[in-house]
Every structure is written in C-alpha cells, then in structure tokens.
Structure 1
Amino acid sequence: MPTKDPSIEPGRDVEQLREALDRQPVIEQAKGVLMVLQNWSADEAFEALVGLSQCTNTKLHVVATILVASASREQPMLPGAEVVDAVLAEVRRIAPGHAFDRTLTTAESAT
C-alpha cells in the first residue's frame, strides 16, 4: 500500500487552484492591453508582466489589476499608493507614449 504524502493537502490544493482561476482573467486582460498598445505577441506581453512583477516585487495578479484599472474605467480596490506608483512607473517605461495616468483608488485613499 502506497504511503500518503504529508505535503499534499487536497483542500489547500483546490483552494489554490480556485484562486489561480479567479486571477487568470485580469492577467489575460493585462496581456491584451500590452498586446494592443505595443503590438506584442501574447508571450511577449506575458513576459513583460512577469518582468514588471519581479521588478516591483509585486504579485503578478496585482500588477495586472493595476494595469487594467489604469487603462480602463474599472476601479477595483488596489494596494497602497507606493505599489501602484511603482508598477505604473515601470509600465510607462516599457510602454512609452501611453499615459497610464488614471487616478486610482488605493487602500490608503479609500480610508
């Protein structure tokens, strides 16, 4: 009889999968924004998002949410202004000529 791997927690794994699936649409939207604005392939846009995430030490889905919110009329609750400013500064660097200047509601400005 095979032994059970204690590192596998089915409930936790299912929850992580749900979270990943919930976050995927905003990542795809952010890729689409970069693809249109920069004439990039899906792979190039994803690589840029990953680079933004690493450069700003911000989770990928948060970077995507900030990018989509700044390019649209959506106003989701975002992390602190410092994170938003850092991400948008990097977005402006990789996508020059596109404003990404929308005033966004951050956790600090909502209180």
Structure 2
Amino acid sequence: MAEPAHAARPRTTRDADDMAVGVATSSVPPCLATIHVLPVGERTDIRIDGELDFGSRQLWDRLEEALDDSAGGVDLDLGEVGFCDCAGLNLLLDLRRRAMDHGKTVTLRVSCPSVDRLLELTGARELFPQAGPASQSAGAAPDERFPRVDVDGELRREVTELRRAMRTRPGIDLARGILMATFNLSPEAAWTVLVTASQNTNTKLHVLAQDLVGTVRGMPLPEEVRQQVAAAVTQARRVMEAPPA
C-alpha cells in the first residue's frame, strides 16, 4: 500500500497567535503539496497533490529517497497539482537530472494544465516522456504497468534538447542581463521574472527574451507583456528585499 503523504505541518491557531504577538517564525514558505509513494516492481509511482511552488522544495528529500530506492526510476502522477510555477518546474528538472546521473529515468504518467503549460513554454516537454497507461488488470505484472524506459534513448533525447537550447540560450541570457542591469536583480530573480512573465502571457520563453532584447533597439513591448514583466519584477524585488526572519 502507498506510504503516508508528506507535507508541511498545517498552520494552527497557536501559530496565528504567535504571529499576532510578534513571535519570530521561519521565513521558509509553507509547503502546499503532498506526495504519495508506491513502489511498483523496479519503478516507483509518485503522486503529487497540491501546489508546486517555492515551498514544495521541502519535498526534495522525500523525492530523492523515493528515486534512490527504485531500480529503474520514478513515474509521476501530477493530475492533482493545481498550480505550478518556475520553482516547481525546477524541482522536477532537478529530480530528472539526479535520475539521469544514476542511470534512471523520470516519466510523466499523468500531467495537469499548469505543468503542461510550463513544459510547453520552456521547451522542456520532451524531457519528460509519457509513461505507458496502467493496466486495467489487477493481476498485471509490474513491468506491464510501468514499462522500462530506454536510458540510452533518454540520453539521445537530452542531447537533442541541449542542441536546441544552445540556439535559444544566447537570447535568453541577454534578456536576463537586461533585467539584471535595469532592475538590479540577481540572476535567479531575473530567471524567475522571465519564466513568470512567459507563463502569464502564454509566450514561449525564447520569444519573450527576443522581445526584451528588442527594447534595447527601441522596439516597444506589447502592453500585456510589459504589465506582466513589471508585475513579475515587483514580486521578485519584494522577495529579494524581504528582511531575514
């Protein structure tokens, strides 16, 4: 049977009272996601529910453990993820990178609209192959439910994606530099601004980067894009300037 879900402790009345009277609390954002782990043969089924944002980084140790305990890798069920931002995407990419480093794979068995859109906008969709559907037969062998993924094929896929990234990365790096110089942002904050504005305007990341680079030559941004970039910059600077707890 599946192991118990792991998530951040829900806020209690005592927590609220402590905040009201000025008791120091942690600056770490709450984790609004839970995971359910089910080993199936040589692979491990991981279902994630909730929101994949910066707070979900607290799930990393459990995800890493589930990956390490599997022989072939993990299959993700993200059907109940209601929200995913660039921090959530980075969590998934880090899990995939660790899997590849150990000759394993991460497949996407069930996705959701918020994850699908980020994968599409950032060009990362092909990095997460679709796992075969679960067998309808209760007595199906584990390998029939979760077929082994060809690691060599995954490596070839990654090389293809890296070559594609090499063609678009210079423009993205230029756009990050423009944001860093214009708004005094860190490299991480500038990346967050790009991904957030890309997501909120439904614009490919490399296309948005080209538009930002074009502003140096006097080309105006579309009004919707300008507003979303400005909002993302404001949020990023608020995070950067937040005093430590």
The reply to whether TM is greater than 0.5 is yes
Greater share of strand: 2
Q: Find the residue that maps to 2:175 and give its secondary structure.
A: helix
The equivalent of 1:104 in structure 2 is: none
Q: 1:94 to 1:19 in 2, by over 3 A?
A: same
Task: Say which structure, 1 or 2, has more relative contact order (CA 8 Å, 6+ apart).
Answer: 1
The equivalent of 1:73 in structure 2 is: 217
Kindly indicate whether the alpha-carbon contact (under 8 Å) linking 1:31 and 1:49 is maintained by their aligned counterparts in 2: yes
Shift of 1:93: 4.2
Which TM-score applies when normalising by structure 1?
0.60
Structure 1 segment 3-82 matched on structure 2, within 5 A: 5=150, 8=153, 13-70=158-215, 72-73=216-217
Root mean square deviation of aligned Cα:
3.2
* Number of aligned residue pairs: 86
Q: Which amino acid aligns with 2:229?
A: V
Which TM-score applies when normalising by structure 2?
0.30
Can you give the 5+ residue segments of structure 1 that lack an aligned partner in the other structure? Answer: 76-82, 97-111
**1:89 aligned onto 2:219:** no
Shift of 1:85: 4.2
Can you give the 5+ residue segments of structure 2 that lack an aligned partner in the other structure? Answer: 1-147, 235-245
Distance in 2, matches of 1:91 and 1:32, equals 14
Q: Percent identity?
A: 38
Provide, for residues 1-45 of structure 1, a one-character-per-residue CA deviation record: whole Å limited to 9, x for no partner: xx8829927765443221101111111111111111111100010
- The structure with the largest alpha-carbon Rg is 2
Distance in 1, matches of 2:222 and 2:163, equals 25
Greater share of helix: 1
Q: Which amino acid aligns with 2:225?
A: V
Provide, for residues 47-69 of structure 1, a one-character-per-residue CA deviation record: whole Å limited to 9, x for no partner: 00010011111111111111111
